[in-house]
Amino acid sequence: MPKRQKERKGKKVRKKHPKHLKSTLYEAKGYTVERKRRSCPKCGAGILLAEHKNRLNCGKCGYTEFKNKTEEKTAETKEKKEKADEKKATEAKEEKATEEKHQETKEEKTGEVK
């Protein structure tokens, strides 16, 4: 009876994961840079927490925070409220500017000076 030869295995095929770009973690607003993710409370400001489906996790020290469904909903509603407040503020500024322009044109027509 002949001996069986072992089948040779080639190199393992590695999965190609998307590259983790630093530009996805930060957002530039004017002359300031803001972090999109929270920083780890144990490690400090330089280490950002990874966002998973149901938790936030620190890769350095292992700190984990679990997300609640209610927290996610409240965070979404807070963002919506902030956007709405910003919109209202810009609309109010625009209205004020148009009113001032109308008053100036009325004064020019009537010849009155403040």
Tell me the pLDDT of the chain (114 aa) as tens digits.
667 777 777 888 888 887 777 788 888 889 999 998 999 999 998 899 999 989 999 999 999 999 887 666 676 777 788 888 888 888 888 888 888 888 877 777 776 555
Whole-number pLDDT of residue 71? 63
Q: For 20, which DSSP code?
A: -
Rounded Cα distance between 33 and 29, Å, is 6
Answer yes or no: pTM beyond 0.85. Answer: no
Cβ contacts of 82 within 8 Å, gap of 6 or more = none
Helix boundaries (H) for 1-114: 69-110
Q: C-alpha distances in angstroms, 84 versus 31, 48, 88, 89, 106? A: 24, 28, 6, 9, 33
